[in-house]
């Protein structure tokens, strides 16, 4: 008898009718002689309601109490789904994080998994339990306090259970039916990918394609757990996130990602000597500002300009932090220039590793559309550019068209 992990997100368990539908989905899998570990999120909206409660309760909230409160939503779903399974005569029981137990460290609100004990679940499986319904997103610290794994933590719970119980794959049921070559709201010919490599998914996840939580993809990659993303609301084929294979390597580009939430800051005329960049970005990091792209121009007269990007909402804070550093004499520069009217467009693909010329091809496509590139940053399997925000849709469409991401060729080689 094989074990399967099935994870259901908040929109998939939004009300009792949906929960009942989820029970039917599980029933089919149990009928095929599987034991199921079902990981559930809170009913859509519940966790946000609880977070609002906490935020209004105290301005300096204790993360341990935050976790005690916000973990309640998953517990409710776990019990309700178990009852829906009982209605179908399926032997099931609910498991809260501390009952499994799902052991984590004590960094409340963003805990790291330490271990998942298997013997309690295994004992119940051997007594005839067919479905273990596990409250996702939560665990227990060695101090016996409830912890949560951070936003999207149920994905991480699911992948961790699949790894620990040596499941063949981990199925993530969500409100989209897979990973696309581009945002279908921007590119109407965007095509659903049947397969995507972990590395590609990681680049896409960190670029804002919010299908899977980044940490869950990292864990899946490390533990070699194939993750199958599919819709709760249709029987359409989903997308398998897995190790790269020959088929993937044949495609140059897998997808085009875009993010509107970017700001560009340029620190003008910084002294060009060792340690200056470390001081600037150390200061920003201390202030909790996540810097994404960094570019340093050629130095003239021992002065240089440093440009970086960060989320739009952090731009003013970043400027303030750097101006204060100048006042304190930590860094010396002439001026800071902000640009909040930018966006980031990226092409991602495993195939890029073995194919040169992708960058120049991308720049030509954008140039042909008259789009000026402001900042460029590259990794082994990704090229990102900052451009004027008003060109975002145009750029994504042009890249998708010119890299032939909609084509049958890609589909044929993608099965």
Site of interaction with a copy of itself (CB under 8 A): 16, 19-20, 50, 53-54, 56-62, 64-66, 68-69, 71-73, 75-76, 78-80, 82-84, 86-87, 93-94, 96, 98-99, 144-146
| Whole-number Å distance between alpha carbons of 398 and 402 | 6
Q: Which is nearer to a copy of itself, 57 or 341 (CB)?
A: 57
Closest distance between a copy of itself and the C-beta of residue 14, in Å? 13
Closest distance between a copy of itself and the C-beta of residue 139, in Å? 14
Q: Which is nearer to a copy of itself, 72 or 268 (CB)?
A: 72
Q: Which is nearer to a copy of itself, 83 or 394 (CB)?
A: 83
Q: Which is nearer to a copy of itself, 16 or 107 (CB)?
A: 16
Closest distance between a copy of itself and the C-beta of residue 120, in Å? 8
Joined tokens for residue 293: 């792209």
Q: Which is nearer to a copy of itself, 76 or 321 (CB)?
A: 76
Give the residues across from 267 on adjacent strands.
Answer: 306, 336
Q: Which is nearer to a copy of itself, 15 or 316 (CB)?
A: 15
Closest distance between a copy of itself and the C-beta of residue 174, in Å? 22
Q: Which is nearer to a copy of itself, 69 or 394 (CB)?
A: 69
Q: Which is nearer to a copy of itself, 91 or 208 (CB)?
A: 91
Burial class (CB in 10 A: 0-12, 13-18, 19+), 335: exposed
Closest distance between a copy of itself and the C-beta of residue 162, in Å? 23
Burial class (CB in 10 A: 0-12, 13-18, 19+), 398: buried
Q: Which is nearer to a copy of itself, 63 or 336 (CB)?
A: 63
Closest distance between a copy of itself and the C-beta of residue 5, in Å? 20
Closest distance between a copy of itself and the C-beta of residue 118, in Å? 16
| Whole-number Å distance between alpha carbons of 179 and 55 | 33
Closest distance between a copy of itself and the C-beta of residue 232, in Å? 18
Q: Which is nearer to a copy of itself, 17 or 278 (CB)?
A: 17
What CA–CA distances, in Å, run from 411 to 329, 398, 403? 57, 19, 13
| Whole-number Å distance between alpha carbons of 366 and 363 | 5
Closest distance between a copy of itself and the C-beta of residue 68, in Å? 4
Q: Which is nearer to a copy of itself, 78 or 383 (CB)?
A: 78
| Whole-number Å distance between alpha carbons of 152 and 80 | 21
Closest distance between a copy of itself and the C-beta of residue 13, in Å? 11
Joined tokens for residue 367: 């140039």
Joined tokens for residue 125: 């499986």
């Amino acid at each position: 008898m094989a074990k399967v992990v099935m994870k259901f997100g908040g929109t998939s368990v939004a009300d009792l009718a949906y929960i009942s539908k989820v029970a039917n989905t599980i029933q089919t899998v149990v009928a095929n002689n599987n034991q199921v570990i079902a990981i559930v999120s809170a009913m859509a909206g519940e966790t946000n309601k609880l977070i609002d409660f906490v935020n209004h309760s105290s301005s300096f909230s204790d993360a341990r109490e935050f976790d005690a409160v916000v973990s309640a939503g998953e517990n409710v779903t776990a019990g309700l789904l178990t009852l829906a399974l009982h209605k179908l005569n399926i032997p099931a029981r609910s498991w809260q994080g501390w009952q499994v137990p799902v052991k984590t460290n004590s960094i409340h609100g963003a805990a790291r998994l330490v271990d998942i004990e298997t013997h309690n679940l295994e004992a119940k499986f051997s007594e005839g339990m067919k479905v273990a319904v596990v409250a996702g997103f939560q665990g227990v610290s060695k101090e016996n306090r409830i912890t949560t794994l951070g936003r999207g933590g149920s994905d991480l719970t699911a992948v961790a259970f699949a790894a620990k119980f040596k499941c063949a794959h981990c199925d993530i049921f969500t409100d989209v039916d897979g990973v696309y070559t581009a945002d279908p709201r921007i590119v109407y010919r965007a095509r659903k990918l049947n397969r995507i490599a972990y590395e590609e998914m990681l680049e896409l996840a960190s670029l804002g394609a919010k299908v899977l939580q980044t940490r869950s993809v990292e864990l899946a990659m490390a533990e070699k757990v194939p993750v199958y993303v599919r819709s709760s609301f249709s029987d359409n084929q989903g997308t398998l996130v897995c190790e790269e294979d020959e088929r993937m390597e044949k495609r140059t580009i897998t997808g085009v990602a875009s993010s509107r939430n970017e700001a560009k800051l340029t620190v003008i005329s910084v002294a060009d000597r060792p340690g200056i960049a470390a001081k600037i970005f150390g200061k920003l990091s201390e202030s909790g500002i996540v810097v994404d792209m960094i570019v340093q121009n050629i130095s003239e007269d021992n002065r240089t300009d440093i440009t970086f990007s960060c989320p739009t909402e952090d731009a003013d804070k970043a400027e303030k932090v750097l101006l204060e550093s100048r006042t304190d004499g930590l860094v010396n520069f002439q001026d800071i220039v902000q640009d909040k009217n930018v966006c980031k467009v990226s092409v991602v693909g495993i195939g890029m590793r073995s194919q040169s010329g992708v960058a120049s091809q991308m720049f030509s496509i954008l140039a042909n559309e008259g789009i000026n590139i402001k900042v460029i940053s590259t990794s082994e399997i990704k090229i990102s550019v900052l451009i004027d925000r008003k060109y975002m849709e145009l750029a994504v469409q042009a890249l998708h068209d010119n890299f032939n991401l909609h084509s049958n060729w890609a589909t044929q080689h993608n099965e």
